[in-house]
């Protein structure tokens, strides 16, 4: 069985957990090297026993948030809110009109961001998604302007929010999205999710380092 499939098969078994021991920069640009062990929970002693095999991984990473320690779920996916900034076009959201309650609209814009990215992204991490040239309240009080340039799924949600408040919304997609890629692969990023830890990369390789 290939090493990557073996890694996920072990973690998918009952009472199995992973332990992220090390995560550090590698020798190549943007490369992250990690050392992961798997462990089996022993109910008799109410503790985890480490399995003998130790896995090493190398990832040409674009974005990461890593926490060392035990994790229970490992998922490799191409469909996740974390990937919207990598795998979907950027779309400019323009608006026209004024809401009845501007404070309620500001709240709904913020809530739309939270609903799209859940706990994985926050506005303070991705400040370029919204137009920051002026405070959001002042921008919306103008009655016309650019709300922001953001990933398509977020843009479509924002358009629905604007229309709900009686504003006209128009979306303009970045036409260069399909032509600016890395041999057709830069729009195919994957996310490795280890509980709250995530790593975003084009691909992931796993090797067995040895045994304890």
In this prediction, residue 184 has a pLDDT band, given cuts at 50, 70 and 90, of low
133, part of any domain: yes
66, part of any domain: yes
In this prediction, residue 4 has a pLDDT band, given cuts at 50, 70 and 90, of confident
Domain that holds residue 151: 83-173
pLDDT for position 176: 66
182, part of any domain: no
| Residue of 12 and 134 predicted with greater confidence | 134
pTM attached to this predicted model: 0.80
* 168 and 93 housed in the same domain: yes
| Helix residue spans in 13-63 (DSSP H) | none
* 153 and 127 housed in the same domain: yes
The DSSP secondary-structure symbol of 189 reads: -
* 98 and 160 housed in the same domain: yes
Share of the chain above pLDDT 70, in %: 80
64, part of any domain: yes
* 101 and 164 housed in the same domain: yes
Number of separate domains in the chain:
2
pLDDT tens sequence across 80-109: 999 999 899 999 999 999 999 999 999 999
In this prediction, residue 62 has a pLDDT band, given cuts at 50, 70 and 90, of confident
Helices then strands, counting H and E runs in the chain, come out as 5, 10
* 12 and 38 housed in the same domain: yes
9, part of any domain: yes
**Rounded mean pLDDT, 153-176:** 93
CATH number of the CATH domain containing 114? 3.30.70
* 22 and 57 housed in the same domain: yes
Distances (CA, A) of 109 to 77, 128, 170: 27, 15, 16
pLDDT for position 56: 61
Straight-line distance from the first to the last Cα atom of the chain, in angstroms, rounded to the nearest whole number: 21
* 94 and 126 housed in the same domain: yes
179, part of any domain: no
183, part of any domain: no
> How buried is 180 (Cβ within 10 angstroms: 0-12 exposed, 13-18 middle, 19+ buried)?
exposed
């Amino acid at each position: 069985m290939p090493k990557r499939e073996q890694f996920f098969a072990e973690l998918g078994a009952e009472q199995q957990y992973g332990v992220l021991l090390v995560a550090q920069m590698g020798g190549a640009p943007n490369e992250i090297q990690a050392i992961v062990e798997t462990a089996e929970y022993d109910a008799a002693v109410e503790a985890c026993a480490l399995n003998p095999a130790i896995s090493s991984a190398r990832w040409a990473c674009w974005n990461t948030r890593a926490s060392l320690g035990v994790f229970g779920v490992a998922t490799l996916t191409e469909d996740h809110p974390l990937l919207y900034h990598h795998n979907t076009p950027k779309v400019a959201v323009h608006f026209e009109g004024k809401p009845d309650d501007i404070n309620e609209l500001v709240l709904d814009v913020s809530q739309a961001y939270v609903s799209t990215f859940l706990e994985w992204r926050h506005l303070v991490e991705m400040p370029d998604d919204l137009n920051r040239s002026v405070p959001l309240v002042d921008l919306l009080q103008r009655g016309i302007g650019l709300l922001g340039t953001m990933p398509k799924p977020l843009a479509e949600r924002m358009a629905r929010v604007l229309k709900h408040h009686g504003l006209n919304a128009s979306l303009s997609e970045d036409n260069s999205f399909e032509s600016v890629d890395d041999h057709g692969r830069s729009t195919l990023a994957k996310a490795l999710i280890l509980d709250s830890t995530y790593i975003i990369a084009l691909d992931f390789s796993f090797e067995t380092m040895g045994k304890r």
